[in-house]
Amino acid sequence: MTVSQVSSDIGRPYEECGVFGVWGAPDAAALAALGLHALQHRGQEAAGIVSHDRERFYQHKGLGLVGEVFGDQRTIATLPGDAAIAHNRYATTGATLLRNVQPLYADFEFGGLAVAHNGNLTNAATLRQALVRRGCLFQSTTDTEVFVHLIAISLYANVLDRLIDAVKQVKGAYSLIALTEDGMVGLRDPLGVRPLILGRMPGNGAWVFASETCALDIIGAEFVRDVEPGEIVVINAGGLRSIKPFAESGSRFCVFEYIYFARPDSVLEGHPVYQARKQIGIELARASAVDADVVVPVPDSGVPSAMGYAAESGIPFELGIIRNHYVGRTFIEPTDQIRNLGVRMKHSANRAVLEGQRVILVDDSIVRGTTSRKIVDMVRAAGAREVHMRISSPPTIHPCFYGIDTPEESKLLAATHSMEQMRELIGVDSLAFISFDGLYRALGYENRGAAQGHYCDACFTGDYPISLVDRDGALVA
Amino acid sequence: MTVSQVSSDIGRPYEECGVFGVWGAPDAAALAALGLHALQHRGQEAAGIVSHDRERFYQHKGLGLVGEVFGDQRTIATLPGDAAIAHNRYATTGATLLRNVQPLYADFEFGGLAVAHNGNLTNAATLRQALVRRGCLFQSTTDTEVFVHLIAISLYANVLDRLIDAVKQVKGAYSLIALTEDGMVGLRDPLGVRPLILGRMPGNGAWVFASETCALDIIGAEFVRDVEPGEIVVINAGGLRSIKPFAESGSRFCVFEYIYFARPDSVLEGHPVYQARKQIGIELARASAVDADVVVPVPDSGVPSAMGYAAESGIPFELGIIRNHYVGRTFIEPTDQIRNLGVRMKHSANRAVLEGQRVILVDDSIVRGTTSRKIVDMVRAAGAREVHMRISSPPTIHPCFYGIDTPEESKLLAATHSMEQMRELIGVDSLAFISFDGLYRALGYENRGAAQGHYCDACFTGDYPISLVDRDGALVA
Amino acid sequence: MTVSQVSSDIGRPYEECGVFGVWGAPDAAALAALGLHALQHRGQEAAGIVSHDRERFYQHKGLGLVGEVFGDQRTIATLPGDAAIAHNRYATTGATLLRNVQPLYADFEFGGLAVAHNGNLTNAATLRQALVRRGCLFQSTTDTEVFVHLIAISLYANVLDRLIDAVKQVKGAYSLIALTEDGMVGLRDPLGVRPLILGRMPGNGAWVFASETCALDIIGAEFVRDVEPGEIVVINAGGLRSIKPFAESGSRFCVFEYIYFARPDSVLEGHPVYQARKQIGIELARASAVDADVVVPVPDSGVPSAMGYAAESGIPFELGIIRNHYVGRTFIEPTDQIRNLGVRMKHSANRAVLEGQRVILVDDSIVRGTTSRKIVDMVRAAGAREVHMRISSPPTIHPCFYGIDTPEESKLLAATHSMEQMRELIGVDSLAFISFDGLYRALGYENRGAAQGHYCDACFTGDYPISLVDRDGALVA
Amino acid sequence: MTVSQVSSDIGRPYEECGVFGVWGAPDAAALAALGLHALQHRGQEAAGIVSHDRERFYQHKGLGLVGEVFGDQRTIATLPGDAAIAHNRYATTGATLLRNVQPLYADFEFGGLAVAHNGNLTNAATLRQALVRRGCLFQSTTDTEVFVHLIAISLYANVLDRLIDAVKQVKGAYSLIALTEDGMVGLRDPLGVRPLILGRMPGNGAWVFASETCALDIIGAEFVRDVEPGEIVVINAGGLRSIKPFAESGSRFCVFEYIYFARPDSVLEGHPVYQARKQIGIELARASAVDADVVVPVPDSGVPSAMGYAAESGIPFELGIIRNHYVGRTFIEPTDQIRNLGVRMKHSANRAVLEGQRVILVDDSIVRGTTSRKIVDMVRAAGAREVHMRISSPPTIHPCFYGIDTPEESKLLAATHSMEQMRELIGVDSLAFISFDGLYRALGYENRGAAQGHYCDACFTGDYPISLVDRDGALVA
């Protein structure tokens, strides 16, 4: 028995998510479950796998962590076949419906097709409206279903031409993988904002798509190359084929993947994430030195930058904040009294390290500022004498429309406060962010100018490389 | 967490089912749950309600009995509004998927619409194929979704015209109710094969649609009239309106509703079902008398006919078979040893009544014959000296394509065996069925000829009044 | 995850229930599940089975119907062995806890023992208090656990002597079955108030205990004999042994089993229940004749008496009230508005039979009177011109302390109202109950005097044959 | 519906677990849930809370993480009162039964009592056998129930005297908290092997017991003092009272709490755990230096020691192994093929840090050696040129009988292999453990001799300070 509220509401769909696909390996669904597990940091809300055994498609989806949805081998046994695509869903606000969980599967005139994507379309609402007007019935509120309907109504004869027809009509920052009855497809948007890599298993030569390299590592697959911006990679019995259907493409990879989103042991476009973060810490220490006793990371994403900061500054690195990893999705603060305790379910202060010390806290970003304020209060309550905050990203002053969950501009602390106001609000003795030049130096460029055109940093600059159709309306060409 | 196998298989969809709708009453969903409960005999597999509170639609569906799905008032509380439509689903073979449970809801260009129907379309597969070719994506395997897509792609401007556009394209035997943002619609197919009645609540004047009058009784609503064959009844703020969109209509009401399907306390087209069944028993006794000691019904549907038989013949009526009403959906016979016991989960013999007696068993129909054989064996094992079987329907020799669950012709005992072969197979001393004339006399006609054109009795005669498009292919007009 | 409120409250434990045991048959648990299914009318709240495979005990219990708890063969597969005892629990008010579901199993010094009983101890609270004072920890609120602790602390060496030691200390009306590592035991209290029968399977000679014969019929077992009042029947590898440990025993079988509780196809102490009920109807017709058009039973238990009444009076028997058997445990009336509709979830009126008629309603008993009133109202609303009520039991004026669920005296309509007051309250034109002499004539005695000492009819007479220790306090010997 | 196999098996009960109690605070159960959350590292299998509202006891228990069992405020709302005790259960092998989840609650002659304990009794089986012989019925397989029965059968008049009577009869290493109708009790075994601390909430003065200080921090309570070895602390309306019922007591605190079990931000007996671990790393570096490029911890428990090692050696500290914290309880490796991939669900190598490097791995202990081998293989596969392993505990050569989950001696790598054999098996270039003197220096003593008698280190030395009654049999005094 299941309750499902009917809802026409389509929220702002932040679909960072993780995608994974494998073609040509026995136990494909089991490999997919492992791949999803390695990509769990990209989405904890739900998970799904569609497999194909050269005869039929099989599907299982569920709300929760990969281990909860796919941890039981009896579930995996319901997903036979040597091809599978898989998806991790990110926890956005509001009720999650199972029908929104990807991959989406549909029976078309030409046969079955499963699709999963990571990212966000900027003309999804516009397209959706046009499709509904044409008589298309939407079953979910995901952008993925826009792809599915575009494919369904395309007049092209074969599935690949229909897929190309569809992706030419969408605008956005996304990677997409699809599974048909005889092949697997992986593609990135023309600017390659969201990651997608290609790998291969050493023994059986099975091909693998994944959002990050860590998903190759867990199954022992080898990294082959990044799927290129605007490239469609088609894998089938005839081998691998590359198609570049877009007139224009470029490279505007999301710089925030380096700062926060990707796993530290992944390698993005040739750069190890861990080293990049550490290097940002080094740049921060050079530009924003302060006299202190300890460098303390806000775990987990602040750790490598704090290590870099400590190494460069010579100030000892200490675990002054302990993270409780058992925090589940469902812990609800029960009463006002408890809420007023200012309980930190995720973090606790390590008094032995903090008491009486001048502390440099290193964190990855300040969004609304509320979490930072709570952490600073906690560190002070544990006896810190001074608290200095160093942030491994530039100030976040614009929302992301390309798949990263950020609030609207009015709720971004840095968009509405001066540096001094922020410092005061958060309650620190000093506050500094990495500079643009520092950030890009950490990624191997001389300065921001040299990196120009390689990255999307719209959340820091407002320079949106893909038109925001739904927000701004379609422009006359 | 939910498992759903992807399946393109579309079985032969027997959707007897029960439908209910109410418009203009507070607690509409609660009334709908009661209505479904009264119609539970029409479908025990699943139940669903969609309500509307003049602002939004709400929906709850579940597998199981109405009391299991809607028995909890907290569930009803999630379905606010003064309008609701509801559906009971009949248990067909194969796995039941929640997405097949009606009413189906969809967001259209013109707004939301919920639809539920009872019956079967004879050109569903043909239409479905055409719709898929056009780019429509089907989410369920129900005929109802054919209506939904036809409505979605219709070029008419308002919902009612689109609905008419849709029903004009379908062939079949069905009743349908729909709920829009500002009204409720009820309609019967042009020949009125499946029932649909209109009622009204005395206090608040709320309008009610239901498959049978027993659903009016439970909520204290008054019977207004049958919806007419081919009639569309539209209820909205402006009151009730009747539309007759079909060029031709007639009346071929399903005679099997009288014999078996409807509840004995319902009144169908002016005839009380209980009296009709009793009268059939009287006709049977007149035509097929036999010397015996007791008349024993096969409960529950055989009871009124057995009472009629006993009254007419003067042979005592006795409850020689006890029915265990606690039989659930899930009792699985565990081992061969148990299976060989010939266990009858539903029926047991009342030896005190049967031992040493000459028994007349009265049942409603013989389909495959296996159940009859088991019951006769049980009655003999309890000591019956003779067993005579009387059946309150003519021999079933053709499958129904209009919504009643019957196996294909090759599995119908009467289609492949002579009367004497049947008697022997079932193991009775004599066997007789009601005659066509007897059946229609029981319904108030002089003979079958006089009832000609008023009823569908295709399962007994092979005279199919609605073309079987999917089976035969579309004919050239 | 399970919620269990800690509760020290021990309600008045009405444990009508059904018990079943089988020893020496493969698939013992499957047979036990079938036996419980046949005894489902004795308790619908919960069910449990303990099996033994000559090495270990296995147990499964659950809330709900037998088909819900044991319908899945995978559950039965967790209960191996050729011996099993089983229990159906009756729905009493208040929350049901799984730990109260029988059979109770415990590890003793001498090994494991499972116990299930049907009935009620009249000194359970007194014994419980003494046991707690001695240091016994109770885990449930069932009387069965009193047996278990008495066995645990007994100083006798073997399990049978301990069991005898225990039953000698309890007072009450009960049947009990127990399963040890090498045998099965069945016993009835010294007055044999509650039923227990012995049967045997034809092929393998397996022994069976059951509350009623209908549980033998379902598995094809043969009736051997009633376990006698005060008899302990021990079954083990050495065969069957009978022990009579009580100095005094007698026979005070519960007459209400005939009137209402047992299944109509069961045979109690040699009397078929169906015939007894029909005969009561005949006696009622003789003593309380009234001019009328139809005799209508309140289904299901009133049916045979109504048939007897109709046969004797010559007034036609008609099904004027239809019972909806799909009523589940969980249907909650959602709102006041609905409640005020006077909805009858279980019964509906068959207007075709009632309208304009003078109706004799036959029911089994009047307890509080509220249900009778509702039914009479419903029958009148369906157009009955006169309503006469005939009851197949004497007026219920005392509570039962021996296992039948009756409210306290102040809530028994007949205990506080005159016959005329009752008639008026229930709203009938005439009201009559079976006389004591009529009741016992129906059971084959000349009059009540001749049946004296054979039956317990305390609920009608207040003549309690077993001392009510908990209610009255222990008496000085 | 619930399946529960009957089992007499009593496994070796390792009950490290975490306990928490609060007395005199509104929302006591909510505070208890937070306390359990902070102590989640001590047991992830199950959690339970019993509360008391000065009138009744309330209880909720469940399998899973605290957030899963108590994350919903509606659950907390079922646990009213200003007093509560709570328990986290550690995952031991074998099926977990809900009836084993603590606190255990029982109704005694004197009223209700709830008990929870952390640790292990060494004469539990011996006592249990004697209690069963006396007629006590056990419902669980936990040691806690031994306490409960001893209290039940004690002849003392009040609950405190009975509790003292009970604890005097048990041998073992445990901390226990109990909740009665008018007070809360906390106690440690005579040698104080397992931790228990006393805290107090600043505003309302509520008293708190907890296994570790981190559970005080999360609710803002202040540390008061450790409960002393052999001390019973009684809290009731009259305030706090200390009782020392044992003739002899001492101090043999579990040294493994420092090394591995406690949370790094806790303070044990005045020593911050984080500092102790870091200091062990410093001692390790001093005693077992090796030329290398990076110091890499095996996360999470190896991190502080690795930091100490790095700081002392001057070799850079790097996160060469990434831990995936999303590993749930249920991830089952599905097939042999997958198993052969040697998948590491919990850890992955950070190639950017390891490739071509000479790596010093720091871990907390080697038990069976299989995990170490896998991690070393993974580090080598990521390109490490040399791998040196440093362990922050002495070799584990004896099982713990006092509550830490260790395998039997034959499965302890260090008990059956020489240092060189171990090095080879694990596949490292060098292997070193902390020395006893180094360990105790890190805890502030001059050497092991100086710490003699303050700690239990039986797992490293075989010097068991509490007699192992169940293992060895009771000795003649």
List, run by run, the mean pLDDT of 10-residue segments along chain B (477 residues).
35 68 96 94 92 94 89 89 94 58 89 93 92 89 90 91 94 96 96 97 96 95 97 96 90 95 94 97 98 95 95 96 75 62 81 97 94 94 97 96 89 96 98 97 94 93 93 61
Enter the DSSP assignment of B259. Answer: I
Does residue A476 surpass a pLDDT of 50? Answer: no
State residue B453's pLDDT score.
85
Query: Do B327 and C214 lie within an 8 Å CB cutoff?
Result: no
Min distance A301 CA to chain B CA atoms (Å): 30
Q: Say whether D214 and A77 touch across the interface (CB within 8 A).
A: no
Q: Which residues contact A208 (CB under 8 A, 6 or more apart)?
A: A20, A21, A22, A23, A31, A35, A198, A199, A200, A201, A215, A216, A219, A221
Q: How far is CA A238 from CA A183, A235, B226, in A?
A: 9, 7, 63
Grade residue C333 by pLDDT with cuts at 50, 70 and 90. low
pLDDT at C334: 56
Of B5, B61, B105, the CB nearest to A58: B5
Which tokens in the block code for residue A427?
């309650």
> Are residues A284 and A276 in contact, defined by beta-carbon separation less than 8 angstroms?
no
Of residues B411 and D7, which shows the higher confidence score?
B411
**Residues A428, A385: Cα–Cα separation, whole Å:** 11
Catalytic positions of B = 17
Q: d(Cα B208, Cα B20) in Å, to the nearest integer? A: 7
Instruction: Of A415, A419, A406, A299, give the one whose Cα is nearest residue A348.
Output: A299
User: Which tokens sit at D152?
Assistant: 């039940």
Residues B415 and B409: beta-carbon distance below 8 Å? yes
* Contact status of C463 with chain D (Cβ, < 8 Å): no
Choose between C17 and A340: higher pLDDT: C17
Q: In percent, how much of chain A has pLDDT > 90?
A: 75
pLDDT at B337: 65
A4, A98, A132 member nearest B109 (Cβ): A132
Is C457 known as a binding-site position? no
**C136 carries an active-site annotation:** no
Q: One of A17, A176, A193, A451 is an active-site residue; which one?
A: A17
Residue C59 to residue D4, Cβ atoms within 8 A: yes
- Rounded to 5°, the CA angle B88-B90-B93 comes to 150
Exposed e or buried b per residue across A106-143, where buried means at least 16 C-beta atoms within 10 angstroms of its C-beta? bbbebebbbbbbbbbbbbbbbbbeebbeebbbbbbbbb
Cα–Cα distance for residue pair B63/B44, rounded to 1 Å: 9
> Binding residue per annotation — C364?
yes
Q: Where are the beta strands (DSSP E) in D303-438?
A: 321-323, 347-349, 358-363, 386-391, 430-433
Show which of residues 287-306 on chain D sit within 8 Å of chain A, judged by CB atoms: 303-304
B214 known ligand binder: no
Q: Give me the residues paired with residue B113 across strands.
A: B106
pLDDT band for position C328 (50/70/90)? low
DSSP state of A99: G
Bin C274: left if φ > 0, else alpha if -120 < ψ < 50, else beta: alpha
Which is more confidently placed, C141 or B366? B366
Q: Which of C383, C304, C314, C391 is nearest to C351 (CA)?
A: C383
Query: Using CA atoms, how far apart are residues D321 and A20, in angstroms rounded to an integer?
Result: 23
Nearest residue on chain A to B80, judged by CA atoms?
A5
Asked whether the beta carbons of B383 and B356 are under 8 A apart, the reply is yes
Which residues in chain C are closer than 8 Å to B348, comparing Cβ atoms?
38, 214, 217-218, 265
Share of chain D above pLDDT 90, in %: 75
Per-residue pLDDT tens digits for D284-318: 999 999 999 999 999 988 899 999 999 999 999 99
CB D89 within 8 A of CB D435: no
C-beta separation of D6 from C105 below 8 A: yes
Locate tokens 């599907």: which residue?
A59
Which chain C residue lies closest to B202 (C-alpha atoms)? C341
Is B27 labeled as ligand-binding?
A: no
Task: For domain D3-251, give the fold.
Answer: Glutamine Phosphoribosylpyrophosphate, subunit 1, domain 1 (3.60.20)
Question: What is the torsion angle, in degrees rounded to the nearest 10, for the CA atoms of residue B107, residue B112, residue B118 and residue B122?
Answer: -50
* Rounded Cα–Cα distance for residues C302 and C142 (Å): 31
Higher per-residue confidence, B95 vs A268: A268
B43 → chain C, closest CA residue: C326
Assign D476 a pLDDT band (cuts: 50, 70, 90): very low
Partners of residue C53 in chain D, C-beta under 8 Å = none
Q: How many helices (H) does chain A have, and how many strands (E)?
A: 19, 24
pLDDT higher than 90, residue C442: yes
**Nearest chain D CA: its distance from C71 CA (Å):** 12
What confidence score (pLDDT) does residue D12 get? 41
Q: Strand ranges (DSSP E) for A335-420?
A: 347-349, 358-363, 386-391
Interface of D with A in 381-410 (CB under 8 A): none
Asked if the Cβ–Cβ distance from A348 to D71 is below 8 Å, we say: no
Among C332, C336, C443, the strongest candidate for a mutation testing the B interface, having the largest count of B CBs within 10 A, is: C332
Mean pLDDT to the nearest integer, A292-313: 95
Instruction: Count Cβ–Cβ pairs < 8 Å, chain B vs chain C.
Output: 180
pLDDT score recorded for residue A453: 85
How many CB atoms neighbour CB A416 within 10 A? 13
CB atoms closer than 10 angstroms to residue C215: 31
Q: Are C315 and C292 in contact (CB under 8 A)?
A: yes
- Out of D6, D61, D68, the one facing C59 most closely (by C-beta) is D6
- Tokens coding B43: 């479908």
Instruction: Quote the minimal CA–CA distance from A155 to chain B in Å.
Output: 9
Query: How many Cα atoms occupy the beta-carbon half-sphere of A474 within 13 Å?
Result: 11
| Cα–Cα distance measured from residue B178 to residue B50, given in angstroms and rounded to the nearest whole number | 10
Rounded to whole angstroms, the Cα distance separating A140 from A99 reads 6
More confident residue, A193 or B346: A193
CB C63 within 8 A of CB C96: yes
Token code pair at residue A10: 């389509």
D140 exposed, middle or buried (CB, 10 Å; 0-12, 13-18, 19+)?
middle
Å between A258 CA and nearest CA of chain D: 14
The DSSP 8-state label assigned to residue A449 in this structure reads H
Whether residue C11 is predicted with pLDDT greater than 50 in this model: the reply is: no
Chain A residues within 8 A of B8 when measuring between CB atoms: 107, 112
CA distance A273 to chain D (A): 9
Q: Quick one: pLDDT at residue B101? A: 85
**Alpha-carbon C158 to chain mean position:** 32
Residue B105 to residue A6, Cβ atoms within 8 A: yes
What is the nearest CA distance from A140 to chain B, expressed in angstroms?
10
Which element (helix H / strand E) includes A3?
A: strand A2-3
* Cβ <8 Å between B275 and C352: yes
Distance of CA C343 to the CA centre of its chain: 28
Contact between residue D107 and residue C136 where contact means Cβ atoms under 8 Å apart:
no
Q: Which residue of B has its CA nearest to C202?
A: B341
Do chains C and A have 3 or more beta-carbon pairs under 8 angstroms?
A: no
Residue D421 CA to chain centroid, in angstroms? 30
pLDDT digits (tens, 9 = 90+) for D14-71: 557 899 999 999 999 999 999 999 999 998 889 999 999 999 999 999 988 898 899 8
B325 near A CB under 8 A: no
Q: Is it the case that residue A4 has pLDDT exceeding 60?
A: no
Mean pLDDT score, A1-30: 67
Tell whether D56 lies on the interface with C, counting CB pairs under 8 A: yes
Helix and strand totals (H; E) in chain D: 19, 24
Q: What's the whole-number average pLDDT of chain C?
A: 90
Which of B254-258, B443-447, C297-301, C390-394 is least confident?
Answer: C297-301
Contact D65, D38 (CB under 8 A): no
* Partner D contacted by C72 (CB < 8 A): no
Please report the pLDDT score of residue B96 as a whole number.
54
Nearest chain B CA: its distance from A91 CA (Å): 16
Helix, strand, coil % over all residues of chain C, rounded to 5: 30, 25, 45
Mean pLDDT score across all residues of chain D: 90
Judged by a CB distance cut-off of 8 A, whether residue D154 touches chain C is yes
Q: What band does C283 get if pLDDT is binned at 50, 70 and 90?
A: very high
CB atoms within 10 A of CB C449: 11
Note the pLDDT of residue D328: 57
CB contact under 8 A, D139 and C135: no
Per-residue pLDDT at A1? 26
CA dist B65 and B328 (Å) reads 10
Contact between B427 and B376 (Cβ < 8 Å): yes
Most confident listed range (B131-145, C14-28, C234-248, D460-474): C234-248
Q: Give the pLDDT confidence score for residue C116 in this predicted structure.
A: 95
Architecture of domain D265-446: 3-Layer(aba) Sandwich (3.40)
Mean pLDDT of D170-183: 95
The shortest CB-CB distance from A73 to any of D217, D219, D332 is to D332
- For residue C1, is pLDDT > 90? no
Chains that touch B (3 or more CB pairs under 8 A): A, C
pLDDT in tens, A323-367: 988 865 445 655 666 666 666 788 999 999 999 999 999 999 999
Q: What phi and psi, each to the nearest 5 degrees, are found at residue C388?
A: -115, 135
Q: Comparing C-alpha atoms, which of A342, A257, A351 is closest to residue A296?
A: A351
What local confidence, expressed as pLDDT, does residue A337 receive? 65
Place C398 in a pLDDT band, splitting at 50, 70 and 90: very high
The model carries a pTM of 0.84
Q: What does the pLDDT look like over A372-404, one tens digit per residue? A: 999 999 999 999 999 999 999 999 999 999 988
Domain residue ranges in chain C: 3-251, 265-446
Contact A137 B154 (CB under 8 A): no
At D336 the pLDDT is 66
When CB atoms are compared, the residue of A72, A330, A349 closest to D68 is A330
Phi (first) and psi of residue A116, to 5 degrees: -135, 145
Q: What is the DSSP string of B179-235?
A: E-SSEEEEEE-TT--S--EEEE-TTT--EEEESSTHHHHHTTPEEEEEPPTT-EEEE
Choice among B326-335, C56-65, C454-463, C465-474 with the minimum mean pLDDT: B326-335
Judging contacts by C-beta atoms under 8 Å, the chain B residues touching residue A154 are 135
